[in-house]
Amino acid sequence: MPGKSPYATELRRRAVRMVAQVRPDYPAEWATINAVATKLGIGTAEPECTA
């Protein structure tokens, strides 16, 4: 089970909304996530391990 997020709930909700809004502007979802993370000043996200 993942640990508690260091980010506030509202910040995470805002990030999700922003990704959904600007997704068409980027060639891939990962590029969108990185751009939103940078805009929010929360660094870059790391891909989830699916192994």
pLDDT by position in tens, the chain (length 51):
567 888 899 999 999 999 999 999 999 999 999 999 999 998 755 555 555
Neighbours of 13 (CB within 10 A): 10
- Domain edges within the chain: 9-40
Exposed, middle or buried: residue 36 (CB in 10 Å: 0-12, 13-18, 19+)?
buried
Q: What stretch of H or E contains 31? A: helix 29-40
Is 0.75 surpassed by the pTM of this model? no
Q: Are 15 and 36 in contact (CB under 8 A)?
A: yes
In 3-state terms, what secondary structure has residue 25?
helix
